[in-house]
């Protein structure tokens, strides 16, 4: 066991020594500027020791040097193709300074030497032209050294006109042109800075920002321009925010005024509150809200008084229609009364209208069962069966007539015409049974008087059709004269009831409870006394004014947070919008618009 351990430790030492030797060789290669071999040796070492930071550093340095040398060689080859041999040689020297044995450098040097020997750009020149060429080259260099780049370009271009392949002329012109462009660039930036500062000083912020951005397009790292762009963008953002606030506030004001003109006071107040939340300084929002509340209260009182008049008118009309057995129209009137009473918390009035409505609907149902109307889907069928039954009856074909009328009763058992014809047929076929039929009908009518006044009326119509002169029928007709079931229960005169009503009217302001009690007594005696019902509605509405004359449903602070949330939402600042909508809901948990807006923001943010 000990022997194995010793062998393992010896092997580890050998491996460490071997690894260390690899790193040292790589380092030596790097120091001798043999970067390709160094990179390979250090890469081999790092594959076994990836966490060695020192080895990683020299590996990176060797690779960077190799790549930089390769870049200079590429530049040298490019310049050589343009016959700019001096500059090509300079790039070659730079490459060798970094990596003397860079692959391809020797071949490039040989090619450069050969091309120089072949290229004799001045061979075709005469002695005088050669002297002119050398003179303008010298002058161009003087101008270039003095920084007069345009003049230098002029002299070098003259040399190129004499010898287009002149290396000195070509390289001199290239350098002068580059410096000239650089100077133009600097002059342009300077002019742009002056113009931007002037525009900024005159308050033309957008144009100034455009100039600073133009500077950055040419010089992305220009710190002064970057700082000015940030400053101006913030200023423009503030101005845009204020402009947006002003525009929204103006829209809310206009919208509120439109709502106010249409007597939609709660909507108008909501718009004023939103405008105040976005831009409090835009106008005197509090005064507008106060005025809107005042108008709303006055308008609500006018509508309430008009509602009382409408209730009285509709009560009278409903009772009149019920007396005329126009129950469908009476139902419409009573439904409207209930709607008004519900709006103004007039519970007793609503209960009275509901009681009359129940009676009207029962009578309407009876009418619809007794007499088919064109609105019924069975109208054509029943009309055809009725016509066939009447024709058969007139032809004394009672069997066929019975068949047609019985078919009607299968759909509408209370159909008045079918029942009348069937009873008439029975009487004609059995004349001796008439008295029994009438006795049975009278007995059933007497029974239904206490159960269903409507059914009693239906049976009375059948009996009257068979024997209108029957004494029992005439007596029953007197008893059921008030078909609606609404009738006076007192013998007191109308003047006496009117006197009680006037007393209730006087008591209604200061002693409403006594007035209500007196009205109830009048209606007990005469349910058709419509004015009394209207007075009850008025007393109830005034007593419950606070319940129906409610202020705007959402507190102003919640509306203001909601308004700010809308502003942030429209500007794309979702986080701030979420915070504002949450604040609004904290103040008004039932604020439905804020709930919906918050859900939209959260959906946009993906949370």
The token pair that represents 526 in the structure block = 């005469």
Q: How far apart are CA 44 and CA 50, in angstroms?
A: 10
Q: Which tokens is 440 given? A: 């049975």
Rounded CA separation 90/105 (Å): 13
Backbone CA torsion sign across 528, 534, 536, 540: positive
Kindly tell me if the per-residue pLDDT of 486 is higher than 80.
Answer: no
Residue 214: closest CA among 182, 184, 189: 189
* 12-21, 395-404, 571-580: the lowest-pLDDT one: 12-21
Reference 38, options 29, 49, 47, 46; nearest CA is 29
Q: Is 367 helix (H, G, I), strand (E, B) or coil?
A: helix
Give the total residue count for the chain: 607
| 344-348, 491-495, 554-558: the lowest-pLDDT one | 554-558
Residue 36: pLDDT over 80: yes
| 8 Å CB contact between 457 and 483 | yes
- The residue among 551 and 372 whose pLDDT is bigger is 372
Q: What is the mean pLDDT of residues 267-276?
A: 82
CATH architecture of the region 23-119: Alpha Horseshoe (1.25)
CB 334 within 8 A of CB 315: no
Q: Which two tokens stand for residue 114?
A: 């050969």
For the domain bounded by 124-221, which CATH number is listed? 1.25.40
Residue 473 has pLDDT above 50, yes or no: yes
Q: What is the pLDDT of residue 239?
A: 78
Among 255-269, 291-305, 542-556, 566-580, which is the least confidently predicted range? 542-556
Check residues 589 and 6 and name the one with the higher pLDDT: 589
CA distance 406 to 49: 109
pLDDT > 90: percent of the chain = 1
User: Which of 95-104, 349-358, 479-488 comes out lowest in average pLDDT?
Assistant: 479-488
Highest mean pLDDT among 24-28, 164-168, 199-203, 460-464: 24-28
How much is the pLDDT for 15? 39
The whole-number pLDDT of residue 531 equals: 82
pLDDT at 8: 37
C-alpha–C-alpha distance, residues 172 and 156, integer Å: 6
Model pLDDT for residues 347-379, shown as the tens digit of each residue: 888 888 898 888 888 777 776 666 667 777 777
CATH 1.25.40 in the chain: give the residue spans. 23-119, 124-221
- Other beta carbons less than 10 A from residue 433's beta carbon: 12
Q: How far apart are CA 199 and CA 212, in angstroms?
A: 11
Reported pTM: 0.45
């Amino acid at each position: 066991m000990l022997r194995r351990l010793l062998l393992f430790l010896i092997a580890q030492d050998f491996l460490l020594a071997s690894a260390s030797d690899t790193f040292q060789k790589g380092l030596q290669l790097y120091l001798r500027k043999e970067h390709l071999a160094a990179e390979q040796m250090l890469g081999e070492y790092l594959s076994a020791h990836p966490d060695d930071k020192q080895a990683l550093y020299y590996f990176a340095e060797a690779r960077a040097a190799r790549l930089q040398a390769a870049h200079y060689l590429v530049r040298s080859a490019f310049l050589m193709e343009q016959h700019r041999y001096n500059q090509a040689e300079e790039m070659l020297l730079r490459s060798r300074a970094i990596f003397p044995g860079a692959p391809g450098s020797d071949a490039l040097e040989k090619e450069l030497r050969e091309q120089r020997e072949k290229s004799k750009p001045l061979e075709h020149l005469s002695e005088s032209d050669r002297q002119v060429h050398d003179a303008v080259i010298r002058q161009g260099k003087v101008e270039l050294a003095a920084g007069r780049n345009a003049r230098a370009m002029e002299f070098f271009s003259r040399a190129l006109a004499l010898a287009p392949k002149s290396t000195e002329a070509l390289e001199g012109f290239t350098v002068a042109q580059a410096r000239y462009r650089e100077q133009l660039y600097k002059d342009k930036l300077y002019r742009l800075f002056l113009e931007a500062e002037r525009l900024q000083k005159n308050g033309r912020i957008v144009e100034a920002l455009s100039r600073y951005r133009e500077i950055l397009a040419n010089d992305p790292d220009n710190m002064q321009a970057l700082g000015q762009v940030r400053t101006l963008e913030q200023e423009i953002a503030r101005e845009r925010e204020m402009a947006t606030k002003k525009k929204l506030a103006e829209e809310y004001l206009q919208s509120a005024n439109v709502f106010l003109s249409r007597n939609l006071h709660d909507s108008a107040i909501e718009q004023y509150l939103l405008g105040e939340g976005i831009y409090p300084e835009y106008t005197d929002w509090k005064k507008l809200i106060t005025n809107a509340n005042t108008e709303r209260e006055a308008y609500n009182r006018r509508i309430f008084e008009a509602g009382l008049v409408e209730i009285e008118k509709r009560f009278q009309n409903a009772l009149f229609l019920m007396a005329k057995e126009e129950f469908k129209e009476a139902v419409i009137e009573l439904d409207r009364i209930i709607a008004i009473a519900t709006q103004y918390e007039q519970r007793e009035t609503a209960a009275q209208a509901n009681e009359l409505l129940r009676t009207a609907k029962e009578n309407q149902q009876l009418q619809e069962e007794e007499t088919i109307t064109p609105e019924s889907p069975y109208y054509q069928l029943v009309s055809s069966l009725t016509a066939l039954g009447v024709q058969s009856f007139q032809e004394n074909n009672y069997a066929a007539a019975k068949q047609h009328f019985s078919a009607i009763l299968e759909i509408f058992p209370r159909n008045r015409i079918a029942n009348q014809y069937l009873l008439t047929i029975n009487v004609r076929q059995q004349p001796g049974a008439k008295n029994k039929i009438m006795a049975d009908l009278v007995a059933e009518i007497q029974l239904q008087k206490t159960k269903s006044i409507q059914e009693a009326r239906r049976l009375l119509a059948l009996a009257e059709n068979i024997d209108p002169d029957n004494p029992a029928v005439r007596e029953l007709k007197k008893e059921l004269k008030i078909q609606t079931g609404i009738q006076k229960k007192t013998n007191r005169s109308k003047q006496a009831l009117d006197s009680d009503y006037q007393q209730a009217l006087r008591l209604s302001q200061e002693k409403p409870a006594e007035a209500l009690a007196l009205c109830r007594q009048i209606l007990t005696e005469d349910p058709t006394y419509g004015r009394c019902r209207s007075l009850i509605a008025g007393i109830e509405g005034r007593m419950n004014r606070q319940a129906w004359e409610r202020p705007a449903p959402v507190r102003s602070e919640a509306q203001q947070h909601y308004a700010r949330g809308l502003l942030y939402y429209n500007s794309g600042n979702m986080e701030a919008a979420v915070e504002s909508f949450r604040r609004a809901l904290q103040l008004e948990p039932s604020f439905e618009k804020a709930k919906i807006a918050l859900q939209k923001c959260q959906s946009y943010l993906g949370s």
